[in-house]
Structure 1
Amino acid sequence: MTDSWKLTLRCNRAEAEALDTESAALAAIDPLPVLMTREGVEDDPDSWVLEAYFEDKPRAEAIRAVTSLVPSHVGKRPQPQRIADADWVTMSQAGIEPVHAGRFYVHTASNRGAVPQGAKAYRIEAGLAFGTGQHQTTTGCLLTLDAMKARGAVVRNLLDCGTGTGLLAFAAMHLWPQAFAAASDIDPVSIEVTRENAAANGVALGVNRGQLALAVAPGLDDAMLVGRAPYDLIIANILAGPLIALAPSIAAATAEGGTVILAGLLTTQADAVAAAYRRRGFRVAGRVTLGDWPTLRLVKRQRFAPLRASA
C-alpha cells in the first residue's frame, strides 16, 4: 500500500459546519482530498480540527486551497504529515466511538464494539456524507424517533429530506417497517453513499412498502417526492437557513396531524426556525437538546372546524 498524507488545520465550529467542499479552489486539486472535521476540545466552539487526506504529498497550491476553507487558519504554515504503510480511512475512523441512542447503535466497521442487547445496530462509515450518528444533531433525531415510537406513534409514509448517509431513514424504517419511505439529498454523492449503506445494513431499496425510494433533489423539488405526499413524518437534519427556506414546501407536503423533525440548527437559531413553521400551521410538540444543538419535533395542526352559524 502506498504512503498517504494528512494535513491538519485548526478551525472553529462555524467554519467546520460551513465547509464548502464544492469550492473552485478545491476543484483544481486532482485527485480531490478527503476532508473530515471533528471537535478538538469537546464543547469548545473555537477548538475544531479540519483534516485533509491526500493520496500523495500535497503541493503548495493544494495546501493553500484547503487552508482557504478555514479563514481562521490563513497566515499559518501547516505541514503535511506522511501516513506510512497505513490504510488512512480505517485509521481516521479508529477513534470514532459507537453511538448508543435509544434503541439504535451506530458504529463503523473498524470500531463495532459490543452491541447492547435489544439495540438495532447500523454500520455507517465516516466519509463523504454527513450523518454518522456522531454529531449531536443526528443523535437528537434518533432519540426523537425512538421516543415517538415509544409513545405509540403510527407512521405510514415518511421522508428523510437531506438524508446524508441514509441513517435516519433507516432508523425510521426500522421503527415503522410497513411504511412507504423516501430519502432525498441535494448532493448526488450522498445518495450514492446511502445506496452503499443500505446494502451494508440490509435495507431494501424500491418504491413499495418497507422499501426506500431515493432522489437527488434540492429539498422536495422532485416529481417522485411530490407525488408521494402527503407525509405523516418528515425528517430534515440540515441547517437553520435551509430549514427556514424549506418551511413552505415541507408544510405543503406534511399531512394534517403529521410530524416534522428538524435538526442542524443551533440553540440560538431555534426560535427563528420554529417561528417559520408556526406560520405554516405547526406547533412545537417536543425538543431534545444535546450541547448547543436542539432537535425540534413539530406537529401540523388539524384545520379549524367550520365556524358555527350565528344564532
Structure 2
Amino acid sequence: MSDSWKLTLPCTRAEAEILKEDIAPFALMDPVPVLMTSEIEAARPDEWRLDIYFENEPEPQTIAMAMHLVPSAAGTEPEIVELEDRDWVAVSQQGLEPIHEGRFFVHTPIHRDEVPDRGLTFEIDAGQAFGTGHHETTAGCLAVLDGLKSRGRRYRNVADIGTGTGLLAFAALALWPNARGIASDIDPLAIEVAERNAAINTVRIGNGPGRLEMVVAAGLVHRRLRARAPYDLLIANILAGPLIDLARPFANAVSPGGTLILAGLLDRQAEDVIAAYRRQRFRRADRQNRGEWSILRLEKRRRVRGHRPASRA
C-alpha cells in the first residue's frame, strides 16, 4: 500500500458531533477516506479537530469539500501531510467495536467473525460513518425500536426520514418483516450508500410488504412520501431545528395512535422539540438520554369528537 495523506482542520464540538453521524459527501469516494474527530484540550471543550485520512494526496476539490463540512474553519489554512504506509481504514474499524443494542448487533467488516448466532445483525462499513450505530443517537433509536418490539407493538407502514446509511430502516423491517418501508435523505449520496448497504444486508428493495423504498427528499417533500402516508411508525434522526420545522408535516403524515421516534437533538433542545410536537397533538411517551443527546418517543393522540384537526402543510 502506498503512503497515505492526512488533512487536518479545526472545528467546533458541535461540528464534530455532526461529523460523527454524517460524512455523506465522502461516502462514495473510492477508496472512502477515514474521518476522525478529537478534542484538542480539555480546558477548551469547544475546540476540536477533524482529521481526514486519504490513500492518495487529496485534490483541491476534495479539500474544498472538507472545508465545506466545517464552516468554522473558513479562513484557515488546512494542514496536509504525507504519512508513512498504514491502512487507516483498518485502524478506524478496529476502533469501532461492535454495538449491542437489545437484539441488534451492528458491526464493521473487520468484525465479521464476532457475529453472534442469535439476534439481528447488520454490517455497516466504518468508512461510511454516518448512522453506523456508533453514535449515541443511532444506538438510542435502535434501543427504542427494540423496546417497542418487546412490548408487542406492531407496525405496517414505516418511514425513516434522514436515513443516512439506512440502518434504522433496516432495523425496523427486521423487527416487523411484513411492514412496508420507505427511507429518505436530502443527500443523494446517502441514498446511494443506503442502497449499497441494503444489498450487503439482504434488505429487499421495493414498495411491497417486507420491502424498502428509497427516495431523495428534503423532509417529506416527495410525491412517494406523501402517497405512502399515513405512517404508523416514523423515525427521524436528524437535528433539532429541522425536527421543529417538520412538526406539522410529520403530524399530517402520522396516523392517529402512531409512533414518532425523534433523535439528533441535545438534551437542552429536547423541551423545545417536545413543545413543538405537543402543539400538533403528540404526547411524550418516552425519553432516553445518551450522553448529551436525547431520543424521544412520541405518540399521536387519537381524534376525539369535537376536536378540529390541524390544517395540512
Q: TM-score, normalised by structure 2?
A: 0.85
> 1:246: Cα distance to partner?
1.1
Whole-Å separation in 1 of the counterparts to 2:183 and 2:268: 28
Distance 1:88 1:296, change over 3 A: same
1:219 matched to 2:219? The reply is yes
Whole-Å separation in 2 of the counterparts to 1:4 and 1:231: 46
Structure 2: runs of 5+ lacking an equivalent: 308-313
> 1:36: Cα distance to partner?
1.9
1:78 alignment partner in structure 2: 79
> 1:75: Cα distance to partner?
5.7
Moved more, 56-65 or 273-282: 56-65
Whole-Å separation in 1 of the counterparts to 2:222 and 2:212: 15
SS of structure 1 residue aligned to 2:148: helix
Whole-Å separation in 2 of the counterparts to 1:255 and 1:65: 40
Distance 1:77 1:122, change over 3 A: closer
8 Å contact 2:238–2:264 — kept in the other structure?
yes
Distance 1:57 1:299, change over 3 A: same
CA shift digits 1:192-241 (9 cap, x unpaired): 11111111111111111000011011111111111011000000000001
8 Å contact 1:183–1:213 — kept in the other structure?
yes
SS of structure 2 residue aligned to 1:264: strand
1:164 alignment partner in structure 2: 164
1:109 matched to 2:126? The reply is no
> 1:11: Cα distance to partner?
3.5
Distance 1:180 1:59, change over 3 A: closer
8 Å contact 1:165–1:193 — kept in the other structure?
yes
Whichever residue aligns with residue 268 of structure 1, its letter is R
Whole-Å separation in 2 of the counterparts to 1:194 and 1:239: 19
SS of structure 1 residue aligned to 2:109: coil
> 1:50: Cα distance to partner?
1.4
Whichever residue aligns with residue 3 of structure 2, its letter is D
Moved more, 106-115 or 199-208: 106-115
2:251 alignment partner in structure 1: 251
The 5 Å alignment of 1:271-290 reads: 271-290=271-290
Identity percentage of aligned residues: 50
Whichever residue aligns with residue 90 of structure 2, its letter is T
> 1:16: Cα distance to partner?
1.8
Whichever residue aligns with residue 35 of structure 2, its letter is M
1:239 alignment partner in structure 2: 239
Whole-Å separation in 2 of the counterparts to 1:22 and 1:190: 5
RMSD value, Cα: 3.2
8 Å contact 2:24–2:128 — kept in the other structure?
no
Whole-Å separation in 2 of the counterparts to 1:182 and 1:77: 39
> 1:113: Cα distance to partner?
5.4
The 5 Å alignment of 1:1-311 reads: 1-9=1-9, 11-17=11-17, 34=33, 36-40=35-39, 46=46, 48-58=48-58, 66=66, 69=70, 71=72, 78-84=79-85, 86-112=86-112, 114-128=114-128, 130-306=130-306
Distance 1:56 1:225, change over 3 A: same
CA shift digits 1:232-290 (9 cap, x unpaired): 00000000011111111111000000000000000010011111111111000001111
CA shift digits 1:61-88 (9 cap, x unpaired): 976874673637976873524242x443
Whichever residue aligns with residue 265 of structure 2, its letter is L
Distance 1:306 1:204, change over 3 A: same
Whichever residue aligns with residue 252 of structure 2, its letter is A
8 Å contact 1:160–1:234 — kept in the other structure?
yes
- Tell me how many residue pairs correspond in the alignment: 301
